[in-house]
Structure 1
């Protein structure tokens, strides 16, 4: 129990009853932890976004793979796998952003609870301050009483006159009465402090338990989101592996031949063609053939071929 460690009343000079201060500031530190958790998750979301963009870049690179050769269809397997991985990490980024909103919402509620608690424990703070004041007066009264007793004892040893001894005894008696009154006031303040501190310590403990419970719940949501994404990524990798296995070497070659093949018909054998004189032009008909000339001597042969 928190009370057992923070409700001790200090009696020695210079010691303060700082348990309340420790518990109060520990409650405020919970707001810092909430903000830091939100910042951590925000950074994780940025990491997932960067990873998603990188996988999309890889998918585009695969889609631009060379369409030539028998390996070309494999690039589509890489493209599909990379696209799916990009979507997995993009979805995780969205889940992280949703979680950040939940953390911020809790942080707002946390501030309201702390503000309300501060008002409720103001009486304990006043009791702490009153106890510290009484503790200071108690120490002062104790020192004064001891000083007067030592002075009386010294006069007795030195054989001081009776009148002087009576005067010292009176001062010692008054100091004792003042010391006793201080003890009584301190004990009353201590009782009030212990009662109020007990109530406040329980409040602080309830707040811390609720805070830690909520923080663990948020971390659990963070963990589940990552776990779900890892399952999806595993499925994508398994699908990629199966796709690679399912595309056989024979099917790659078959697909290539279907797309790039020039025909299945083989050229037939060439037979001997007999020379037929009837194919020659009739001698009586005017030949339209060009006059015979020696290559290189004609004007046209000296000009570049227009075709």
Structure 2
């Protein structure tokens, strides 16, 4: 594990480079974004669960479902609607639980943000101080090198003027050489001071970098653990919801097992029976004949005369002059 530590793997040979630190910060920013996405996912899932629960409640409380059923099947349907109502309540409760989990994730993100802010502030100051001191050191080095070149030129001028007869000119060159040597010594001291200061700043920066790596690595471990546990809790909550729903539906199944077809039929008969004697057959009655024919309707062999009696039988044939007489009644005037 030592070889995988942040503090051992995010350096650069360039003293001004922040690539290692930048990579860590970018990774932690992505992790924070991932936590935010999971938080939003929980909120969206909570909204879905709440809507589903409320729609289910509306369905069970407003929509009839076998309201005219009787006896054991009626009880089974009542248990069914009650358990569906309970399932709806569970989904609404799950929505509240998911929102609480999302709030925990938000609090965790905010806590890590504040912790990182302190570390980033220290590191930004360390980077700024390091860069500033490096610039001062490089400027001091340039001045020192220039003073060295000036001294070398002065020495060369003195050597060239060794055979010169002009005493006054030689004195000027010696004064210039002495001045340049003094300037070199002074610039060398300043340069050395800046180098030493830069080394101290570098050590401080490296120390802060190590501390920052340790803090940020601890934060990343905490974030991974927190997000992993949050996801674990989330799927357990969903599984528990399924278990609860199945337990509630099991109550319906148990009620259905006690539902008896014979008992429901018997219950209906006892509650709504109207009698055990069917109606008697409707007998045929001749309007002209007082005798009652026992034959039931539809069983008569003669034509249906609509309650009229049979025609009288004539006593004479059509050729007789008295053909129009019917039982001593004549249509002929006498």
TM-score category (smaller protein): 0.5 to 0.7
Q: Is the 8 A contact 1:49 1:90 kept in 2?
A: yes
Q: Is the 8 A contact 1:41 1:100 kept in 2?
A: yes
Larger helix proportion, structure 1 or 2? 1
Map 1:67-82; keep pairs closer than 5 Å.
67=68, 73=74, 75-82=77-84
Classify the secondary structure of the residue corresponding to 1:6: coil
Q: Does 1:246 align with 2:258?
A: yes
Aligned equivalents of 2:211, 2:269: Cα separation in 1: 86
1:46 to partner: Cα distance: 0.9
CA deviation string 1:160-214 (max 9, x = no partner): xx98xx9xxx9xxx9xx89999987765544332222111111111222223333
Query: Among residues 101, 104, 111, which one is paired with 1:102 in the alignment?
Result: 104
Query: Among residues 8, 13, 20, which one is paired with 1:9 in the alignment?
Result: 13
Aligned equivalents of 1:129, 1:18: Cα separation in 2: 15
Q: Does 1:236 align with 2:254?
A: no
Aligned to 2:295: none
1:141 to partner: Cα distance: 10
Q: So what's the TM-score if we normalise by structure 2? A: 0.56
Q: Is the 8 A contact 2:57 2:88 kept in 1?
A: yes
Map 1:91-130; keep pairs closer than 5 Å.
91-115=93-117, 118=118, 120=119, 122-130=121-129
1:232 to partner: Cα distance: 0.3
Aligned to 1:296: none
Aligned to 1:54: 55
The CA RMSD measured in Å over matched residues stands at 4.8
Q: Is the 8 A contact 2:7 2:214 kept in 1?
A: yes
Unmatched segments (≥5 aa) in structure 2? 143-155, 161-179, 282-334
Classify the secondary structure of the residue corresponding to 1:63: coil
Q: Is the 8 A contact 1:63 1:76 kept in 2?
A: no
Q: Is the 8 A contact 2:133 2:201 kept in 1?
A: yes
| Number of residues of Structure 1 aligned to a counterpart in Structure 2 | 255
Q: Which has the higher contact order (CA 8 A, sep 6+)?
A: 1
Classify the secondary structure of the residue corresponding to 1:83: helix
Aligned to 2:20: 19
Classify the secondary structure of the residue corresponding to 1:67: coil
Aligned equivalents of 2:116, 2:66: Cα separation in 1: 60
Q: So what's the TM-score if we normalise by structure 1? A: 0.60
Aligned equivalents of 1:182, 1:193: Cα separation in 2: 16
Map 1:44-193; keep pairs closer than 5 Å.
44-60=45-61, 63-65=64-66, 67=68, 73=74, 75-115=77-117, 118=118, 120=119, 122-132=121-131, 188-193=200-205
